[in-house]
Structure 1
Amino acid sequence: MAVDRLKSTWENLGRVDPLWAVLTDPERRHGGWQVDDFLATATEPIARVRRLLEEAGLSLGDRTLDFGCGAGRLANGLATHVKEVVGVDIAQSMIDEANRINQFPDRISFVAYDGHRLPFADESFDSVVSLISIQHSPPAVQLACLVELQRVVRDGGVLVLQIPFRPSRPEDLPESAMRARIELLDVPSPVGVGQAAPVRARVTNVSDRLWPAGRLIRLGNHWLRDGEPARWNDGRTDLPHDLAPGAAVEIELPVVAPDEPGEYDLELDVVQEAVAWFAEAGGETVHTRVTVVRETVAEVPALSPQKELVVDPKPAPRGRDDGGMEMFGMDSDLVRLLFTHCGSEIVNIVPDDMAGGEWESFTYLIRRGS
């Protein structure tokens, strides 16, 4: 099984060279990491996590789970900002090393788990942080991890998760290519709070450049209320094929209504993921009013399954030249839809460099819903 292979690999790495297995600096292999230097590397990523939270008006709370803790690098960094940190890892050898170098034994505890169900009660943490960990799990294990992390965070708590998307980010579009005409064809209204609904639109490339498929060019949406964002990161649908200048395509966009009833402004725009929304480059968006009511609206059409999500059919692993763990990407739409389906809110998605230069990678800030 994938979990058994993952556990066996990490158990071996934890016994042979645990610090290098976490941070695979080729000059630090074979015991080359000094403990103080190793732990000091947590300062910068923890600072980034805190800035991301502060910008959203959120916090880690008092009790944080460090998922995929390895030798406890991030757990020790987190312990200076929260009252209690629990590190969990699939390898007992890593847990043993984490306990050996634990700098805050009164505030940090480490636990091994079986790779299936986390040994914690529902809603037992204020927050979860997981960086450079989920990327090493095969796809089926990744999905199970995310569901478990959702389970153990309290309602209103936060998850900060770094997950690579795919190797080798495509070339950025020039700003002159970020010109689209969006025509609304069908917008359900009213819709119930938290209800998923299909929005149909025609998107025309009105620039003088080809939009190539596979460059993360997508139709997306925002929900605004009284001119302020109510939900910024919601639906996405990829271009189904290359779109030449002057050409148009009809797209179904899955949206999820905000969690409070009221009158909202639904805005559609095109985005090149991790580069820019077209509006930021001078492009035009389209708006429409949507009424959100408390009850589910039976008349709202169902989403078309074949258009709901576009993912790479084979998220193949890529090996590491330095002998480290292989990597597995996860489509950002899948992450978004998984947590939205579970009632949570994707507060922000920011590109990061934690998976190395060969990978697109994102850090997701998620507020757990009920």
Structure 2
Amino acid sequence: MPVDRFKSTWENLGREDPLWAVLTDPERRHGGWDVDEFLATGAGPIALVRKHVDAAGLSFGERVIDLGCGAGRLANALAAHVHEVVGVDVAQSMVDEANRINRLPERISFVVYDGFRLPFDDESFDSAVTLISLQHSPPALQVNALLELQRVVKPGGVLVVQLPCRPSKREELTADGMRAGIELVDVPAKIGAGQAVTVRARVTNVSGHTWPSGQLIRLGNHWLKDDEPVSWDDGRTDLPFDLAPGAAVELDLAVVAPEVAGEYQLELDVVQEAVTWWAAVGSTPTRTEVVVVPEAVAVAAPAEQPEIVIAARQAPHERKDGGIEMFGVDTNLVRLLFAHCGSEVVTIVPDNMAGDDWESFTYVIRRGETV
């Protein structure tokens, strides 16, 4: 979808039915939303986001940008937590509606932008929030938007980003089906602080149940120091195909070393997302000692590529209400993109913001000191 088409779609939605275009309740179509009721729906998501930010030891600060602001639902809710909110959208019609129903014009402003570069100086905001917005952007614009948010947030500031990963209908495995044998095949003994590397492991289904692909069954990892968790949500790699009892597959897993040098344990386990890590129900993870040093270390790539790739782009899916397309972004791509820019994905929280048909996550990111 070219950017012109993307912008045109939202311009038309903003002119025809802006509040419904943001919250597509079928009973509220054709002007069915009461403005105050519409704006009130923003309080819950922002309160939850604030909880995630506080839990990460971060702060919104005083000035926050709301990217993909639409009619200003979340911007008005954010004003209860910060002094100044600037909402930004690609559609002038949406910005016009946001200004029309703005309840705090002395502290909330709305700006249109071209979809590529945000019209703000580097490091001019304390924080950034984007919810149920980037999921509708074409893939190239998604990546560009993430980089732009990184640019305009101050070092040490926080970015809160919600993105779907992929369409999914999850069927929860029983505990006795969650039994994996994990054998390390290729793991560097030494990694630079904050360095992204690829490790390889052979995963064997040692249960009596077939593991179905597409059910959010993934190889993942944790970092521990002296048996205490340092980073729990790091890399993920999907099961590439159904794995029958006794069958095995070799998987590449992209991991990011802790930011502080020292001796760590790299633990690999299997997880069914939004259900449990399998070690919690009796499966046996595997660990290895890794030394993290201050400088990046040259690491050879695995000799052969296993039968799996990171899904950096998902095919677009039409919304059931007939509206704009949805695009997923793989969690590894988000994590590695910000790591490459010197920032840290502190927390990845499953959410339901993209609807029942999508696996979606909210990312809390600490903006690094360098880009």
Question: Normalization by structure 2: what TM-score?
Answer: 0.93
RMSD (CA atoms): 2.0
- Once the two structures are TM-superposed, the CA of residue 336 in structure 1 deviates from its matched residue by 2.2
Superposition deviation, residue 309 in structure 1: 7.1
Offset from partner CA, 1:253-292 (integer Å, 9 cap, x none)? 2222111111111111111223221112222111121111
Q: Does 1:90 align with 2:100?
A: no
Equivalent runs, 1:43-62 vs 2, <5 Å: 43-62=43-62
Give the secondary structure class of the aligned counterpart of 1:224.
strand
What is the rounded CA distance, in whole Å, between the counterparts of 1:317 and 1:200 in structure 2?
Answer: 30
Letter in 2 for 1:173: L
Q: CA distance change for structure 1 residues 38 and 229 in 2, over 3 Å: closer, same or farther? A: same
Query: Using the alignment, how far apart are the partners of 1:156 and 1:306 within structure 2?
Result: 37
Instruction: For 2:291 and 2:158, locate their aligned partners in 1 and report how far apart those are by CA, in whole Å.
Output: 28
The answer for the alignment partner of 2:128 in structure 1 is: 128
Give the CA deviation at 1:308.
Answer: 11
Matches of 1:83 and 1:308 in 2, distance apart?
50
Q: Distance in 1 between matches of 2:192 and 2:137?
A: 36
Do 1:2 and 1:141's aligned partners in 2 also have CA atoms closer than 8 Å?
Answer: no
- The SS at the match of 2:110 is strand
Q: Give the residue type in structure 1 aligned to 2:54.
A: E
Aligned to 1:207: 207
The yes-or-no answer on 1:176 pairing with 2:176 is yes
- Counterpart for residue 359 of structure 1: 358
Cα distance change of structure 1 residues 311 and 178 upon mapping to structure 2, 3 Å threshold: same
Q: Distance in 2 between matches of 1:23 and 1:230?
A: 38
- By how many angstroms is 1:303 displaced? 5.8
Distance 2:306 2:120 in 1: 37
Distance 1:258 1:166 in 2: 27
What's 1:14 paired with? 14
The Cα shift of 1:352 comes to 1.5
Change (3 A) 1:177 1:244: same
- Counterpart amino acid of 2:98? A
Paired position in structure 1 for 2:263: 263
Deviates more, 1:348-357 or 1:107-116: 348-357
Aligned partners of 1:310 and 1:333 also within 8 Å: no
Matched, 1:272 2:272: yes
* Number of equivalent positions: 369
Cα separation, partners in 2 of 1:346 and 1:15, compared to 1, 3 Å: same
List runs of 5+ in structure 2 lacking aligned partners.
none
Range with greater deviation from structure 2 (280-289 or 35-44): 280-289
Aligned equivalents of 2:120, 2:51: Cα separation in 1:
28
1:312-340 residue CA offsets vs partner (Å, 9 max, x unmatched) = 48722222333432222222222222222
1:191 and 1:308 map into 2 onto residues whose CA distance is 25
Q: Which amino acid aligns with 2:8?
A: S
Distance (whole Å) between structure 2 residues aligned to residue 344 and residue 270 of structure 1 = 26
Per-residue CA deviation, residues 56-109 of structure 1 (Å, 9 max, x unaligned), is 222212111101001111000000111111100001111111111111112111
- For residues 324 and 138 of structure 2, the distance between their equivalents in structure 1, rounded to whole angstroms, comes to 11
| SS of the residue 2:325 aligns to | coil
What are the residue-to-residue correspondences of 1:174-323 with 2, within 5 Å?
Answer: 174-298=174-298, 300-302=299-301, 310-312=309-311, 315-323=314-322
**2:35 paired residue number:** 35
| Residue aligned with 2:58, SS | coil
Shift of 1:148: 1.3
Q: Kindly provide the CA deviation profile for residues 332-365 of structure 1, in whole angstroms up to 9, marking residues without a partner as x.
A: 2222222222222222222222112222222112
Distance in 2 separating the partners of 1:263 and 1:158: 28
Give the whole-Å Cα distance in 2 for the aligned partners of 1:343 and 1:304.
28
Please say if residues 309 and 333 of structure 1, whose CA atoms lie closer than 8 Å, have aligned partners that are also in contact. no
Aligned to 1:72: 72
Tell me the equivalent position of 1:328. 327
**Residue 41 of structure 1 aligns to which amino acid in structure 2?**
T
Q: 1:266 is paired with a residue of what secondary structure? A: strand
In 2, the alpha carbon distance for the partners of 1:43 and 1:178 equals 38
Cα deviation 1:126-147 (Å, max 9, x = unaligned) = 2111111111112222121112
Counterpart of 1:347 in structure 2 is 346
Matches within 5 A, 1:105-120: 105-120=105-120
Letter in 1 for 2:330: D
Describe the shift of the 1:163–1:236 C-alpha distance in structure 2 as closer, same or farther (beyond 3 A): same
